[in-house]
Structure 1
Amino acid sequence: MNRLRNGPGGAMSRLMNLAFNAALSARPVQWTKSGMVFLPLAFSFNEEWSTADLGRFWELLASTVLGAVVFIALSGAVYVINDIFDRKRDQLHPSKRRRPIASGALPLGAAIGLASVLLVGSLAGS
């Protein structure tokens, strides 16, 4: 018998809901701000790289992408930690009470685990 049966209330469905709420807690709408780390790459043309030396461009692009990922992970960790500490207050707020941690859609233990993984991952990547 497949213990991870799919369907309403199944383990796979609960796992997908948990992953969805974990992602929401990291505030993906805010991730566009990480695009700012790409600006120096654009402005470094003819200073650090040129079309004649695209190898250097790819090195810088890889570093920039890593920087954006680290920034996303670190900011996500801060959002989750903030929501953990503010969960009681957020439960009383008309719109914030719908956030995954305040509403209980993301259990406190899972939120702490998520914040830990994001924080350690961002520090390891920096």
Structure 2
Amino acid sequence: MTDTTVEPKAATRTPVSVTWGVVRTMRPRQWVKNVLVLAAPFAAGMLFSGDTAAALAVAFVAFSLAASGIYLVNDAKDVTADRAHPTKRSRPIASGIVPVPLALGVATALLLGALGVSFLAGPDLAIVVAVYVAVQLAYCFWLKHQPVLDICIVASGFLLRAIAGGAATGIALSQWFLLCAGFGSLFMVAGKRYAEMMLAERTGAKIRRSLEGYSASYLRFVWACSATVLIMTYCLWAFQIREEQPHNTVWTMLSIVPFVVAVLRYAVDVDNGNGGEPEDIALGDRVLQILAAGWLVMLALAIYL
């Protein structure tokens, strides 16, 4: 499956370096994506109801364990290619600090742990986590380099996180929520791939293999279509809230403004080639943070006031 025999001679293993290498490969910084489990309870107005907090904590931990396990599998699977890459060769597994068998062993423990933890919130969450693990493993071993399928699978990771919040708390997911979450995920992933292609064209860096099956115009097409559907479905959802809660009409309608502007602002960052990782944009663009905060406040007033 992978080349585990040729390791850089400079790699020095100590208990501390190996442990730290495993932690780095788990990418705990990426756990910020798992706050998406809060989306469904928040949108349903049940974020502070009953045992919701405990169930969401379980969902957050389960997805954090699952995602870290997938990262370990992915880096172990790609160890040979990463050793030939100018930057990825410094990753703990590629550099020889973390042995491949150890990485796969820790990954197995994390994935089984994710499934076990998810049962604390019920079988529905366990099913969502199992689907996430199965889809991501298929991505790592077979589908990573398949055009269209690769961006759909990456987008599904965001969507399944949003679905997990409803599954953990027993909240029924509305059609508008699923559409916004689905096309919002596709918008971010297509934008990420487009930004990677633009960066490669400007710097001459080698692009990932999956991008060889795309053109910049096609990625812009997917990106633009996703943004259009995302904005349209959010507006329709806002109109639905107005009908169900007419006393909060003003906040529902006003929330459309920062939402649309935030989408357009995010698109500017992507178009400039700065959209390598969605979390990097979210943490690095102060204006986008202000728009997101304003949108959340208005939406909270519309739902909870």
Alignment TM-score, normalising by the size of structure 1: 0.76
Opposite residue 30 of structure 2, the aligned amino acid is: Q
Q: Deviations over 1:34-60 (max 9, x none)?
A: 111122232333xx476xxx6x0xx11
Q: Which structure's CA Rg is the greater one?
A: 2
CA distance in 2, matches of 1:125, 1:100: 27
Q: RMSD of the alignment, in Å?
A: 1.8
For residues 65-104 of structure 1, what are the structure 2 equivalents within 5 Å? 65-104=57-96
Q: Structure 1 stretches (4+) deviating beyond 4 angstroms?
A: none
How far, CA to CA, are the matches of 2:85 and 2:53 in structure 1? 42
**Alpha-carbon separation, structure 1, partners of 2:92 and 2:41:** 36
In structure 2, the partner of 1:110 is: 102
Alignment of 1:27-46 (within 5 A): 27-45=27-45
Partner residue of 2:115? 123
Deviation at 1:15, TM superposition (A): 2.3
Q: 1:49 to 1:95 in 2, by over 3 A?
A: closer
Deviations 1:83-125 (A, max 9, x none): 1110001000001101111111111221111111111101111
**Does the CA contact (< 8 Å) of 2:76 and 2:100 recur in 1?**
yes
Looking at both structures, which has the greater relative contact order when contacts are Cα pairs under 8 Å and sequence separation is at least 6? 1
Amino acid at match of 1:69: V
CA distance in 2 between counterparts of 1:109 and 1:85 reads 11
Q: Which moved more, 1:14-23 or 1:70-79?
A: 14-23
d(CA) in 2 for partners of 1:79 and 1:29?
12
CA distance in structure 1 between the partners assigned to 2:99 and 2:64 by the alignment: 22
Identity over the aligned pairs, expressed in percent?
31
CA contact (8 A) 1:41 1:61 kept: no
Q: 2-side partners of 1:29 and 1:82: how far apart?
A: 17
Count of residues in Structure 1 that have an aligned counterpart in Structure 2: 106
Structure 2: which 5+ runs fail to align?
Answer: 1-12, 119-305
Conserved 8 A contact 2:75-2:93:
yes
Point out where structure 1 has 5 or more consecutive residues left out of the alignment.
1-12
